[in-house]
Amino acid sequence: MNKNDWWKDAVVYQIYPQSFKDSNNDGIGDINGIREKIPYLKDLGVNVLWLNPIYESPMVDNGYDISDYYKIADCYGTMEDFENLLKEAHDAGIKIIMDLAVCASSIEHKWFKESKKSRDNKYSDYYIWKDPKEDGSAPNNWGSIFGSGSAWEYVEERGQYYLHLFAVEQPDLNWENPDLRNEVYENMEFWLKKGIDGFRLDSISLISKKQDFPDDPTAGENGYGSPYFGASNGPRVHEFLQEMYEKVLSKYDVMTVGEATRTPVDKALLYCQPERKELNMVFQFDHMHVDYGKFGRYSDLKFKLSDLKEAMFLWQKSLNGVGWNSLYWDNHDQPRFVSRFGNDDSKYRKLSATMLATVLFFQQGTPFIYQGDEIGMTNVAFDSIDSYKDIEAHNMYLKFSNMGLSNDEIMSYIHNKSRDNARTPMQWNSNSFAGFSCVDPWIELNPNYSKINVENDMNSDFSIHDYYKKLIKYRKGNEIVRDGDFKEIGLEDSDIFSYTRTYKGKTLLVLGSFSDKKVCYNVPNNLQKFKRELVVSNYDGNIEQNKDASTLYLRPYEALVFYMY
C-alpha cells in the first residue's frame, strides 16, 4: 500500500453536528460537544471523523445551504473552537474531513445576493441563469429533488430563472465559470491550510450540467422531469475534478470521497481510478435503491436480499484492484440501517445490527459508521408531520397530500424513509434529553432513548459498541481485509449474505443471516478442504454444524467470520 493511501486503513465516523452533543445547552449540538466526546471516539477506535457542514448557513437544508464558506455557524461555535477540535482530534490520532458543499450555495450567500441584481456584475455568472421560454415559463421541465415543484425560480430583477436542483433557497453554482471554480479552490486551500485531512464532496456528480438544458422526456404526470436527467455525471465533471486535483488536492496528503448520486459503477470508476487523479472513492447509491417504490425513495417496500447483494457485490467486483469502495449502510440522509435492513424489535435488534456491521466491515473499502449506529439506534415514528424538521419530508407530505394520499399512508412512508430518522439526537444515557443536552433539543428525541443509549449499551453483556470496537481492531492493518480479492457466494440465497476475501493464499469466509429463523448454509465445495478458525461471531462463539462440518446452521441474524487455512 502506498503510504499516502492511509485512508484505505481508515474507519470513518460520521458526525451530524446538530445532533451529536450540545455543550452549551441551547438544544443544538456543537463543536465543543464533539470535543467532549473525543475520548469516546478514540476508545471506539475510529481514526477519521467526517463532519457534516458546520459553516454559516440559514439552515434551510440543515447547513447544506451555505452563506459563508469561511465562517463557522454561530450555533456550532467559533473558529477557535474548530481549531481546538482539530488539534485535539489530531492529538488523539483522529483525522477530520469536512463537507464541501459546492453544487449549490444558499441564497443568502453574498455571491447570490449580487448575482441576482443584474446580468453584468462580477457575480452574475456564478449561478445558472436562463431566460424564460416565450410563454414566460421555466427554461425546462426539471423538477426539484426535494419534491417542491420546478427546479427553476424566477427573479424579477434579472428577468430570468435560476436553477436549484434542491431547495429554492439553494441556487446551483455555475461550474462553467472559471472564477467560481477558483473561489471554490481557494476555499479548499483555506481549510486544508488549517490542517484538515480531506473532504466529503457533496452532490459532486451533479456539478456539471448539459449546457443545452434538455427537457427530460420521461416527465411524470405533474409535468416535472427528473432533475438528474441533465445534471448527473455531466459532460465536464471529470475535467473539473481533475482541475481541482491538480490545483489543490495534489498538494496535500488527504482523503476525498464524493457523493455520487445516480452514478452506475462503470461511471464511478472514472471518479476513483487512482491514475485519473480525481477522488479516492465515491458514495454509491445502488444498494440504497433496493426498496424504492412507485414514489421512489418514499415507500414502504421491503427489500429483497438478493437485490441488496447484487448491488453491493457488483461494486465489490467491479472496483476490485482498480478503484476503492466506500462502505456504508446509512448516513444523515437515510433511515437507520437496523430498522431498514435488520430487525429493530427488541429481540433481534442487537443481533441484526452486529450482523449487518460484520458483512459490511469485511468488504473491500473504507467503512463509514454513522453516529449512533454503534449502539443500534433505530428509526423514529413521530405521530405528526409537525414534529419533522427535514425540508424534504415536508415537501413530500404536501406533494402526496395534493395527490390525494391519506395521512396514514403518507406518514407510513415518512416513518420508513424520512431523513429525520437519522437526525434525532445521539442517545448518550437515560437522563432527561438523553445526555445530549439539558434542554429540549432542536428535534425531538427518539422516545426509546431510555433503553437504547451509549451507557446502557456499554454496560450490557451484549454490547453493540464493543462489537464495533472488535471489528475496527480486527480490520486495522489486516491485509486480507484491506487488499484481498472479493468473491461472492450464493447470490440467489434469500437468507444469507456470504463472500470470501483472499490475499496471498489466505482466505476469510464471511457469513451473515438476514433471517429470524434458523437457516442452513452449505459450505461451498472448494472451501471444504480448508480448516476453519472462527475469528468473529455475534453469538457465543459456538458453531452449529453437521458432523463433517459441510453444513452450518445459522441462528437468527448470526454473523460468522472464519479464517480458512
Annotated active-site residue in 169, 172, 197, 202? 202
Residue number of the CB closest to ligand NOJ reads 64
367: three-class secondary structure by DSSP: strand
Smaller CB distance to ligand NOJ: residue 152 or 166?
A: 166
CA nearest neighbour of 300 among 417, 419, 147, 418: 417
The nearest distance, CB 201 to ligand NOJ, in angstroms, is: 10
Nearer to ligand NOJ, 29 or 512 (CB): 29
Residue 426 DSSP label? P
What residues make contact with ligand NOJ under the rule CB under 6 A?
61, 64, 101, 166, 202-203, 259, 332-333
Write out 152-202 in H/E/C secondary structure.
EEEECCCCEEEECCCCCCCCEECCCCHHHHHHHHHHHHHHHHHCCCEEEEC
Question: How far is residue 432's CA from residue 5's CA, in Å, rounded to a whole number?
Answer: 43
Q: In whole angstroms, how far apart are CA 199 and each of 247, 281, 544?
A: 15, 11, 45
User: Nearest approach, Cβ of 457 to ligand NOJ (angstroms)?
Assistant: 27
CB of 102 to ligand NOJ, least distance (A): 10
Q: H helices of 248-383, where?
A: 265-272, 305-319, 337-340, 349-361
In a 10 Å sphere around its CB, with 0-12 CB exposed, 13-18 middle and 19+ buried, how is residue 375 labelled? buried
Coil vs helix vs strand at 485: strand
CA distances from 228 to 144, 168, 260, 382 (A): 9, 16, 11, 31
Q: Which of 81, 99, 259, 373 is catalytic?
A: 259
Which SS3 state, helix, strand or coil, does residue 288 take? helix
Distance CA 125, CA 401 (A): 37
Q: Give the bridge partners for 14, in sequence order.
A: 50, 370
Q: How far is the CB of 170 from ligand NOJ (least distance, A)?
A: 6
Q: Is position 310 annotated as part of the catalytic site?
A: no
Count CB-CB contacts under 10 A for residue 228. 17
Beta carbon nearer to ligand NOJ, 425 or 435: 425
Is-catalytic flag, 186?
Answer: no
Residues 184 and 171: their CA atoms lie apart, in Å, by 15
Residue placing its CB nearer to ligand NOJ in the complex, 65 or 457 = 65
By beta-carbon proximity to ligand NOJ, the closer residue of 202 and 330 is 202
Residue 167 C-beta: closest distance to ligand NOJ, Å:
8
Q: Which is nearer to ligand NOJ, 37 or 200 (CB)?
A: 200
Among candidates 200, 243, 237, 247, which has minimal Cα distance to 7?
A: 200
Question: How near is the Cβ of 351 to ligand NOJ at its closest, in Å?
Answer: 30
Nearer to ligand NOJ, 197 or 259 (CB): 259
DSSP code for 53: P
The CB-of-146 to ligand NOJ minimum distance in angstroms stands at 8
Active site residues: 202, 259
